[in-house]
């Protein structure tokens, strides 16, 4: 199969940059249910635009391209060792070309291989079958949603839902709880795959395999079809909403599979996937290695709303009202702070230029849409750990820290940002409050919110948490105008501290300096709604 490596490379590029048609239709259906004048409506509008931008630019939809996971069926007699070598080489090429972010990290040293190769990466599962062609399927599942996977061992006592037994009703409770515990940290609205039975390993594998099903298929097992429909109807009543902002659309798809189990074990495994549901597959000719057929409808030409424009309209113009778009890209502010008119949904639009004063920060309230310009610095796990015991290489007084591990490429002109959406912020909770206090940081940007320690530090030292739209890597990359420099490149590209000039970077205040947290409010509200399903019975 001389062309097999090229075919795998094409599969990787398509999966990373172009959402399949079934996923796009699910997002469009969800968007139709959400009021466009709400925070979740704004998020879905930005998501829709980002999907179109990624396709147009052939760039990653989300900067976290996950751990490439291949499931491959081969005829008897095909050399799987050669196929594995070709797959690894295709992964290296895709990483070098900026279609994959280098995500393979040594678990002991913390070193990044830089090419997505390492012990256990990429993940490749081979199975033989009696067909004459090769079936290759790929899923790119980012770390934010991977961290929200969860496994239950029944019987169990579940928060808000009480006892979950070894029956369909207990399984129902587990799935609802899985959606609740994810909140906005898995980039909702999302998709879930559920595996019933097996052991701890095979249960998770079964759950992930459900994610390869098409979003609009029908489960052949009547009991599971009924369960899937029940979850889709009722999980969206929890009010978690897109990005955890509250709203009507929390779940876009639910697929359930079942296998036998040990008498002593009853596992329910849930694989959570964000809205950027990147999976694709191809049938390969065993003689040549050419692609014979794409297994999922390719997304080109299937819109999720108004996604053609590269930049969204200004909120304050009639065009914005007519288009339904609420993603914001206003001109750079001339002063350090400028307050625009209220949006149609009642939220204020406020423009800030870094460095930001404490006075400007104290004026902000949860729900404000902030438009940032100036310099911003990225920082993730490795940097936060470092800054606890060391000084910063740059002055962070009045600065903005962005929880982001971008996709970066370097040429003779320097570094360029290829994708730059937010990462899940809660991982930095052990460090964030101390770093805000130590360096005088005024704003932290990420997704999913942070905890009580950070909220207290924002109150005490004058800061805000800004929630960017998870997965919108192309939308935010457009706002980055220049790479000013980089520190700690030895941490790896995702973990390095990138210094970036931004213009028109839009995010929503979800934790302010007055002790208010939208994330805490939504979680409390969804917990009360979850409890309403405690006594419901599913048989």
pLDDT at 310: 35
- pLDDT of 165 higher than 70: yes
Q: pLDDT for 51-61, tens place per residue?
A: 999 999 999 99
The verdict on 459 and 428 lying in the same domain is: yes
Considering the domain boundaries, does residue 371 fall inside one?
A: yes
The verdict on 342 and 454 lying in the same domain is: yes
**72, 134 Cβ separation under 8 angstroms:** yes
Q: pLDDT for 442-457, tens place per residue?
A: 999 999 999 999 999 9
Q: How many residues does the chain have?
A: 539
Share the mean pLDDT of the chain.
92
- pLDDT above 90 coverage of the chain, percent: 89
Q: pLDDT for 479-505, tens place per residue?
A: 999 999 999 999 999 999 999 999 999
Integer Cα distance of 202 and 271 in angstroms: 12
**501, 89 Cβ separation under 8 angstroms:** no
Q: Where are the beta strands (DSSP E) in 69-208?
A: 69-75, 123-129, 134-140, 150-153, 156-158, 162-164, 190-196
Considering the domain boundaries, does residue 366 fall inside one?
A: yes
Considering the domain boundaries, does residue 187 fall inside one?
A: yes
Angle at 48 between CA 42 and CA 52, to 5 degrees: 145
Read off the tokens for 89. 């080489």
**387, 396 Cβ separation under 8 angstroms:** no
Residue 525: partners with Cβ closer than 8 Å, 6 or more residues away: 239, 246
pTM (two decimals) = 0.91
Going by DSSP bridges, is the β-strand pair 150-153/291-294 parallel, antiparallel, or unpaired?
unpaired
The verdict on 15 and 86 lying in the same domain is: yes
Considering the domain boundaries, does residue 372 fall inside one?
A: yes
Distance of CA 503 to the CA centre of its chain: 23
Mean pLDDT in residue range 199-210: 97
Considering the domain boundaries, does residue 344 fall inside one?
A: yes
Considering the domain boundaries, does residue 196 fall inside one?
A: yes
**With b meaning 16 or more CB within 10 Å and e meaning fewer, what string describes 194-212?**
bbbbbeeebbbbbbbbbbb
The verdict on 128 and 148 lying in the same domain is: no
Q: pLDDT for 370-391, tens place per residue?
A: 999 999 999 999 999 999 999 9
**441 burial type by CB count under 10 A (0-12 exposed, 13-18 middle, 19+ buried):** buried
The verdict on 128 and 219 lying in the same domain is: no
Integer Cα distance of 344 and 429 in angstroms: 34
The verdict on 109 and 167 lying in the same domain is: no
pLDDT at 300: 73
* CA dist 243 → 87, 143, 185, 421 (Å): 34, 15, 7, 13
The verdict on 489 and 515 lying in the same domain is: yes
The single residue listed with the structure tokens 């490429």 is 409
Considering the domain boundaries, does residue 317 fall inside one?
A: no
Considering the domain boundaries, does residue 531 fall inside one?
A: no
- pLDDT of 331 higher than 60: no
The verdict on 504 and 357 lying in the same domain is: yes
The verdict on 115 and 153 lying in the same domain is: no
The verdict on 131 and 151 lying in the same domain is: no
The verdict on 188 and 63 lying in the same domain is: no
Please provide residue 170's backbone torsions phi and psi, each rounded to the nearest 5 degrees: -65, -40
pLDDT at 305: 65
**66, 103 Cβ separation under 8 angstroms:** yes
Q: How many domains does the chain have?
A: 3
Domain that holds residue 374: 326-520
Angle at 286 between CA 282 and CA 289, to 5 degrees: 60
Looking up residue 376, the CATH number of its domain turns out to be 3.20.130.10
Integer Cα distance of 124 and 132 in angstroms: 20
The verdict on 92 and 176 lying in the same domain is: no
């Amino acid at each position: 199969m001389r062309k097999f490596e090229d075919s795998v490379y094409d599969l990787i590029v398509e999966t990373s940059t172009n959402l399949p048609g079934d996923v796009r239709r699910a997002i469009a259906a969800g968007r139709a249910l959400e009021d466009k004048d709400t925070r979740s409506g704004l998020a879905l509008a930005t998501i829709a635009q980002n999907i179109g931008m990624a396709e147009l630019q052939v760039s990653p939809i989300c900067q976290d391209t996950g751990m490439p996971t291949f499931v491959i069926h081969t005829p008897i007699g095909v050399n799987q060792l050669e196929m594995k070598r070709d797959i690894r080489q295709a992964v290296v090429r895709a990483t070098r070309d900026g279609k994959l972010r280098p995500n393979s990290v040594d678990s002991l040293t913390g070193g990044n291989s830089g090419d997505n190769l390492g012990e256990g990466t990429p993940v490749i599962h081979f199975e033989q079958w009696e067909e004459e062609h090769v079936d290759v399927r790929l899923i790119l599942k980012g770390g934010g949603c991977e961290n929200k996977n969860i496994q239950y061992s029944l019987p169990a006592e579940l928060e808000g839902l009480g006892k979950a037994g070894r029956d369909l009703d207990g399984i129902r409770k587990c799935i609802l709880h899985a959606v609740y515990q994810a909140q906005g940290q898995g980039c909702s609205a999302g998709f879930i795959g559920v595996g019933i039975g097996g052991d701890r390993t095979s249960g998770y594998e079964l759950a992930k395999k459900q994610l390869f099903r098409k979003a609009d298929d029908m489960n052949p097992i009547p009991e599971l079809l009924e369960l899937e429909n029940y979850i889709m109807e009722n999980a969206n009543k929890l009010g978690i909403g897109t990005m955890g902002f509250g709203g009507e659309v929390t779940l876009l798809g639910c697929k359930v599979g079942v296998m036998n189990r040990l008498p002593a074990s009853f596992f329910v495994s849930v694989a959570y996937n964000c809205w950027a549901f990147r999976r694709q597959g191809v049938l390969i000719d065993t003689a040549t290695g050419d692609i014979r057929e794409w297994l999922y409808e390719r997304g080109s030409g299937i819109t999720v709303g108004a996604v053609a424009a590269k930049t969204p309209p200004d909120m304050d113009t009639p065009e914005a009202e007519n288009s339904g778009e609420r993603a914001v890209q206003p001109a750079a502010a001339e002063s350090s702070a400028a307050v625009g008119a209220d949006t149609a949904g009642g939220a204020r639009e406020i423009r800030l230029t870094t460095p930001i004063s404490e006075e400007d920060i104290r004026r902000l309230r949860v729900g404000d849409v902030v438009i940032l310009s100036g310099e911003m610095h990225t920082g993730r796990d490795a940097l936060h750990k470092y800054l606890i015991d060391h000084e910063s290489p740059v002055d962070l007084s009045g600065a903005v820290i962005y929880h982001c591990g971008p996709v970066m490429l370097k040429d003779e002109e320097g570094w360029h940002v290829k994708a730059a959406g937010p990462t899940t912020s809660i991982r930095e909770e052990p460090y964030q409050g101390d770093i805000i206090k130590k360096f005088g940081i005024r704003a932290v940007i990420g997704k999913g919110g942070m905890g009580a320690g950070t909220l207290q530090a924002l109150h005490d030292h004058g800061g805000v948490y800004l929630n960017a739209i998870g997965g919108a890597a192309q939308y935010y990359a457009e706002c980055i105008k220049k790479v000013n420099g980089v520190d700690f490149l030895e941490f790896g590209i995702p973990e390095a501290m990138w210094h970036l000039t931004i213009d028109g970077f839009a995010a929503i205040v979800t934790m302010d300096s007055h002790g208010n947290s939208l994330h805490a409010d939504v979680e409390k509200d969804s917990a009360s709604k979850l409890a309403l399903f405690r006594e419901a019975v599913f048989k």
